[in-house]
Amino acid sequence: MATFATDPLAVCEAAARAGGQVLREHAGRLAEAGVMRKGPGDFVTAADYASQREVRRILLEAFPDHGFVGEENDGLARGGSTGLRWIVDPLDGTTNFVHGFPAYCVSIALADGETLLVGAIYDPVRNECFTARRGAGAFRDGSPIRVPQVRDLSAALVAVSFPPQVAADSAALADFVAIAPHTQSIRRTGSTAINLAYLACGRLHGFWARRIACWDVAAGFLIVQEAGGVVESLASPADPPALDDPAFIAGSSPELVVALRGLLAPAAARG
């Protein structure tokens, strides 16, 4: 385990809050800032880039030898010299942000290879910050959080992540149809990081995603696990999801993850 002269979790939280402040400053000014399309239904804004620059500045001023992996390809990605890398989504939920829907956040994690060390998810709308340090628990604004031990899927509020464009015959919709009758209800917030933070504090009880990126999930994986939740690879219950290919099932109890997996398996065969 790496040792640090400066507390990486304190820097992680400070960077997440600073990125969130940038988002607050840009909210409501999208006509000035401009909205660009990465692809159908997939947006990027000046706020994404401005938040990432501020987050990167804070992280690499504190840890100049660390690597940096951000969602926005702004020419500032770097490998570092230590094997440690910051994994950053400067605005998770950009489509929500564009439309003024209040479900978006900044997500930051520090990884040593595949091992997550610290993480922070900051919601600038609710002014909530979820944090975790490996082996030291998970917190919301400094107060400890734990997942509720919901074991029965019929009592669970669960969330799903869809890709920006959803085809009528997609596995994502097949999953939704397969699971919806067995749960109390299903939500799609449009922010994977917020889903994982909400699972960690008990607002959700289960969540799955077939196609997602490391910056969407890195902080959330650690926060859920440190809150007592379960995160497994969608491909294999014996393995944690790989950061660079993180299709996964997460739940507030092992029983809930097993129940979700049993319903998702037939949909997996359809692609």
Q: What is the pLDDT of residue 242?
A: 87
| Residue pLDDT, tens place only, 223-251 | 999 999 999 998 888 888 888 888 899 99
Q: What is the pLDDT of residue 144?
A: 98
| Residue pLDDT, tens place only, 127-140 | 999 999 999 999 99
Q: By the 8 A CB rule, do 187 and 95 touch?
A: no
- For 52, the token pair is 């990432």
d(CA 135, CA 242): 19
| Residue pLDDT, tens place only, 12-40 | 999 999 999 999 998 877 644 555 555 44
Residue 16 has a CB neighbour count (10 Å cut-off) of 31
Q: What is the pLDDT of residue 39?
A: 45
Q: What is the pLDDT of residue 168?
A: 81
d(CA 259, CA 263): 7
Q: What is the pLDDT of residue 15?
A: 98
Which residues of the chain, if any, have pLDDT below 50?
A: 31-32, 39-42, 75-77, 267-271
Q: What is the pLDDT of residue 40?
A: 46
Q: What is the pLDDT of residue 270?
A: 45
Task: Give all domains of the chain, ordered by start, each with its CATH number.
Answer: 8-145 (3.30.540.10), 153-269 (3.40.190.80)
88 three-class SS? strand
